[in-house]
Amino acid sequence: MKDSRFFVLVIIATLVFPLPSCLFVQEPKPGISPKLKREIDGVILRLSDKDYKTRQTAEEDLRNLVKDPKSLDSILAYLQKQSGTVSDTQVKISIERVVKPYIEWGITGYLQEKFADAMNLLISGDEKNWEIVARELGNSRDPETVDVLIRIYISAARYEEFHPLPACSSDISATCWPAEALVKIGKPAVEPVIKLLGDKDSIVRRCAPWVLAKIGDPKAVEPLIQALGDTDEHVRALSAEALGMLKHPKAVKPLIAALYDKDSCVRRDAARALGKIKDISTVEPLVRMLEDTTVDVRYAAIEALSKIGDPKFAESLIPFLKDKEVWVRATAAWALGKFRFVKAIEPLIGVLGDKQSDPRAEAVRALGRIGDVKAVEQLIPLLRDSELANLLEEGEDNFWWKGTTVREITLDTILSFGKEALPFVRESSEKKENEDIKDRLIEIIKRIENE
């Protein structure tokens, strides 16, 4: 009776307080079977043969054994161990020649099984295959491919024929395919890519900000802020742009500081980034950037201010209608029109005589947006202007130029005034100096009357 009670107590104690796992016999981890080990050892023995062809065949046999995904990881570990113990230099070189590509690219049994063709292309040693492999792995969106993609990224960046991006350009996706592949993987790639920002090679660091911005994980904000102090101007510029894409308020002060960077590309991209974040506190520093000596910076500052949308700065733009650079004049006119700044009517009428078509077209559109019908009389002569022009179009995060002619935008602008424009148009149609555009004026009258 006592014995039975004792055993019951033991069972209960075991259930409540499980015994340490070390007291139990555990299953061994998968490794090389004795048969495979003997086969590998036999091949290694042949690697030391005096006959060259025998050694060559043995190395090829070893290469074929390694390709088996089920035992790849174990075989690689075993071969690395054997390489460290063999005394024959030739054997050591042969083993390392077989093992090196797998170690170099981080190829595991899982990857070899799931992406056999892609892994074999990597092992081939042909740099032309890198893009094919990167795109396949990226399209798979498999987190297990991150390590290989990072290695491809680094190798491609350091390869002399690979150029991650031209100077002062943020068009990365077309040229930096390893980066594009990492974006497709998404959040599992964030930490490894953040580490790339600390790489000693600046060309490796350059695409990393774009990848982090496209993935959009807030974890990247602090590392990107740190990257604004990078020694490479391209990394600083691209980090500024990336922070703008992430639109995180924490980046505002560091980006304001970047407006005073010695490199104009950094200043330009910092201004654009602040425009995307749209923090009202950045208006004053951006207005100061309107005086920058570099046209791209002035242009970016106007873009940014127009996105932030504070009309208080509008008067500051009027002097830039006479800027020496055509893009600045055109963008200033566009921004004044966006804010419907009434005080800009007379200066904008002055721009209608600009030597370049882009500022003329933007001034026409701006006068239409401000909506003072008295401007119609000044617009009518531009119905003769058939010169091609580019109009600035605004998207959520970017700007682009739309092709038109000054005449077309003038016609559309006059029509936008509706019936209020009719007295001015009728009067102009009766003037002798307007004989050459009379048909156009009559067309405008008909279209307005038929609305």
Instruction: Return d(Cα 321, Cα 351) in angstroms, integer.
Output: 7
Instruction: Return d(Cα 25, Cα 193) in angstroms, integer.
Output: 42
CATH of domain 129-246: 1.25.10.10
Q: What is the pLDDT of residue 25?
A: 32
Q: What is the pLDDT of residue 8?
A: 44
Instruction: Return d(Cα 352, Cα 379) in angstroms, integer.
Output: 8
Using alpha carbons only, give the angle 140, 145, 151 rounded to the nearest 5 degrees: 130
The stretches of 31-128 forming alpha helices (DSSP H) are 34-46, 52-66, 72-83, 89-105, 109-114, 116-123
- Of 23-27, 239-243, 265-269, 425-429, the one with minimum mean pLDDT is 23-27
pLDDT band at 21, cuts 50/70/90?
A: very low
Amino acid, single-letter form, for residue 187:
K
pLDDT band at 397, cuts 50/70/90?
A: low
State the distance between the two ends of the chain, measured CA to CA, in whole angstroms. Answer: 108
**pLDDT beyond 50 at 19:** no
Q: Is there a contact between 328 and 296 (Cβ–Cβ < 8 Å)?
A: no
Instruction: Return d(Cα 141, Cα 137) in angstroms, integer.
Output: 7
pLDDT, tens digit, 9 for 90 and up, residues 284-331: 999 999 889 998 999 899 889 988 887 878 888 899 999 998 988 998
Domains 247-309 and 326-451 share a fold: yes
**pLDDT beyond 50 at 6:** no
Burial of 438 (0-12, 13-18, 19+ CB in 10 A): middle
| Mean pLDDT for the stretch of residues 233-242 | 94
pLDDT band at 83, cuts 50/70/90?
A: confident
pLDDT, tens digit, 9 for 90 and up, residues 94-116: 999 999 999 999 999 999 999 99
* Per-residue tokens: 117: 């063709």
Locate the domains of the chain by residue range.
Answer: 129-246, 247-309, 326-451
How many Cα atoms occupy the beta-carbon half-sphere of 420 within 13 Å?
11
Q: Is there a contact between 444 and 415 (Cβ–Cβ < 8 Å)?
A: yes
Using alpha carbons only, give the angle 209, 214, 219 rounded to the nearest 5 degrees: 65
State in words which class domain 247-309 has: mainly alpha
- Of 57-71, 154-168, 404-418, the one with minimum mean pLDDT is 154-168
The stretches of 290-405 forming alpha helices (DSSP H) are 295-308, 314-317, 326-338, 345-351, 357-370, 376-379
Q: Which of 133, 136, 139 is nearest to 120 (CA)?
A: 133
| Mean pLDDT for the stretch of residues 120-132 | 92
Fold classified for 326-451: Leucine-rich Repeat Variant (1.25.10)
- In the chain, % helix, strand, coil (3-state, to 5) comes to 70, 5, 25
**pLDDT beyond 80 at 222:** yes
Residue % of the chain over a pLDDT of 90: 69
pLDDT band at 175, cuts 50/70/90?
A: low
Q: What is the pLDDT of residue 396?
A: 63
Query: Which DSSP category does 26 fall into?
Result: P
pLDDT band at 150, cuts 50/70/90?
A: very high
